[in-house]
Structure 1
Amino acid sequence: MKITRIEDLHCDAGWRTFSFLKISTDDGLVGWSEYTEADGSQGLTAVIRAMAEALIGTDPRPVQAIDALLYVKQVQAPGGVNQRAIAAIGNALLDIKAKALGVPVYELFGGPVRRRVPVYWSHCGSYRVRNHELIGTPPLRTYDDVAALGAEVKRRGFKALKTNILPFDGEKLTSFSPGFGRTPGHPELNLDRRTLQSVRDLLAAFRAGAGADIGLHLDVNYHFKTEGYLRIAKAVEPFDLTWLEIDTWDPQSLALIRRHAPCPIASLESVTGRRAFRPFLDAYAADVAIIDVIWNGFLESIKIAAMAEAYEVNVAPHNYYGHLCSAISAHFCAVVPNFRVMEIDIDSVAWRDELFIDPPLVENGELIVPDRPGWGVEVNEAAVRAHPPKGKPKGAQ
């Protein structure tokens, strides 16, 4: 078996672009992966093309050898976009290898520990504040609307949700993203009392609507410095969070926050590679290590999870993309013993389901891991081409 062609496809997904890598072989097998050029990955497609060019004419099945070779070739500039390119290529190759053997990808890694994966509704409320027209839902304008959404989460069978800070400006709820340079507050990233109160109001509304049994996760991203995160951690204590999710590049700062926080701390979603994860694990900086399987690649993610288990740390995938990414993350969740919970976006554009063949099924708050060969989810090329991207790839967390 030889690789004959490597293509990238892109489509409009409303406020972002979905991107796919397709690797074809002379045996007629096709491997798919999904990736994103959002969130600091601009130019990723060009890097993938440059890396993949050398693979034309080679056997796609020795995935570990190819993964190791690609790493060595960029070892002077590790991580970042280079690692994300390796991930996209490696994930597509695993799809081919599993299809060639007629098995789901999880069978390549010892078989599933679990076939149903608990998920939480991610960006709950956040997308409806800024993209409700594309989703096809009424806008989220008040904290009463938030409470109603919390009740919807419970009614639809989910056991947990994750939201972001949504301040009320006196007329409506608004987005809050200074850590990404999208709203005022950057570069100082100071926490003011109004924002702190909005955190309390938001969580109180979700708790009132969803009830005491629904797990609440709050993601505050890169929006503050250590001092601000400590104040946030103190403010969330009454709401019994499943976790407070924080992004920082300093392991000791994160460890300090964890020691003082009244709830579990989850972090590391932007970190790529075992070498970068290790300082955080050595510092015992997080209760839950969030691993992006799309940015790290399945092979590397499995190794990171194994390393985290030696520190008695469970892992959770960072997953806010399309259905193929959800399937890839689900296979990861299926095989790692030290699993916590899986992220998934429920709100999306109306045509998202059209872009995929056999998208994963979520039932009663659990994703059923696909058991078809490969990832178990295929890209509907006709539908992708029917929704060409608008301008440059874009995205939002």
Structure 2
Amino acid sequence: MNTADSTATPNLIQPLQVEGRAWVNGALEQLKREAARSADTHLLHVELPAYPGIAFYFKDESAHPSGSLKHRLARSLFLYALCNGRLREGQAVVDASSGSTAISEAWFARMLGLTFTAVMPASTAPQKIRDVQALGGRCDLVEDAGTVHARAAEHARSGACHLDQFGLAERATDWRGNNNIAESIIGQLALEPCKVPTWIVCGAGTGGTSATIGRYLRYRGLDTQLCVAEPTGAAFAHGWQTRDRTVLASQPTLIEGIGRPCVEPGFIFEVVDAVEQVDDADSIAAAWLLEDLLGYRYGGSSGTNFAACLRLAEAMRARGETGSIVTLLCDRGERYRETLYDPAWLAERGVNPSAALKTIRASIGCV
């Protein structure tokens, strides 16, 4: 018998270290208070005479404090990082983003007193870069858009918390409710003639929004169909058609935030009922038209969504159907003043939306 073993003090279970838990609790409280202060975004109603019996609704996500749909995602990503023990006091934060998510993440990082770096393609709209910097964020610009993930991972290996919107978007948001965008839309339609929309249309950047909406519609047992609006040739469209997650985009796009070059982890094909591919000129023309209809400028992805809505409405009209179509106004058009709203910038890239704008105006009876 080993005497030392027989006389040693028994091993006692020791509590795990909870260093920094007080800061985490405080950060979570700040995020909860911010959510409570935030009013819901408007659901705008538009009637187009060319489509009798079909109501159009636009969920204006640009009204969030950080100016886009990504405000919801950024809050969810910070909550996810905090609750999974991945984010601690004083830790740097990083993510790969073409702009709107980065702006929203910079907004929340400033609120929590954290430094933030956005890894962005160098081609990102200049105003988006300035917006991140105005919120105290740093922009790490890369020439090859396909390397943003790897560069963000480099920052993470140096100790930064990688929020990883592309890897975590579809799981960070509670698709069963918690005022996600789908629950908000259905709630706002409660008093409308068509309480259950025929279609909801959104784009696919991270895939988080389409996954959340598609799952929520099934969770609620609603007959609403989900359409993803994609720039022509983008990866989601190819992958959805073949269920091949290895496909790549067949052509680039000027529409930031959607039209990914590869199939992202958050792309859930099975909850999407249709995909409409939209040429860049049509997306930009539709975005320009939104300003005439609604009085405000919106980004290119909002135009992509609107163009897809009009195609769905044409098909409904041809079948003699009535109902409603809901889509998203994703971010503020001022961010694209030097790009999508600058004829000279567009001309340099061989894009002239004027003809497309004339065609769309004629199709909706607004010449």
Over alpha carbons, which structure has the higher Rg? 2
Q: Which has the higher helix share?
A: 2
Q: Give the TM-score normalised by the residue count of structure 2.
A: 0.30
